[in-house]
Amino acid sequence: MKVQYLEIVTPEVDAVCETYALLHGVAFGECDPGLGGARTAMLASGGVLGVRAPLRETEVPVVRPYVLVDDIQRAVDTAAQSGAEVALPPMELPGHGTCAIVIQGGIESGFWQL
């Protein structure tokens, strides 16, 4: 299992980026419109860390891992069959891949297909 994208949603984007940069030695780029305006940093594992502001007034801060999968629809279907709520069905992010979000036991998790 590989975390391809680790998303942090916070109203304090710059402060969180600064802290992660100081603690972990990562460098954040400018906002990426294709990832909801996230500032991103490459991780040693080859994955990406993205920190962005909430996209709507009702979105609360969250840390959401997106696990790399070969077949995103199969992953979503399997999670749903196991009782997960599909919060975001597979959605293509041009230039980045396809993502989906499920919620199970109050925990938000994502899938990512390149």
Query: Could you tell me the residue ranges of all domains in the chain?
Result: 3-113
* Distance of alpha carbon 67 from alpha carbon 1, whole angstroms: 7
pLDDT at 71: 98
pLDDT at 70: 98
User: How many C-beta atoms lie closer than 10 Å to residue 9's C-beta?
Assistant: 21
The alpha carbon of 97 is separated from its chain's Cα centroid by a whole number of angstroms, namely 12
Token pair listed for 37:
């305006």
pLDDT at 66: 98
Write down the pTM of the prediction.
Answer: 0.94
Query: Residue 114: is it exposed, middle or buried by C-beta count within 10 angstroms (0-12/13-18/19+)?
Result: exposed
Question: What string of pLDDT tens digits covers the 114 residues of the chain?
Answer: 999 999 999 999 999 999 999 999 999 999 999 999 999 999 989 999 999 999 999 999 999 999 999 999 999 999 999 999 999 999 999 999 999 999 999 999 999 999
CATH for 3-113 (1.10.10.10, 3.10.180.10, 3.40.640.10, 3.40.50.1110): 3.10.180.10
Token pair listed for 32:
């990426």
pLDDT at 39: 98
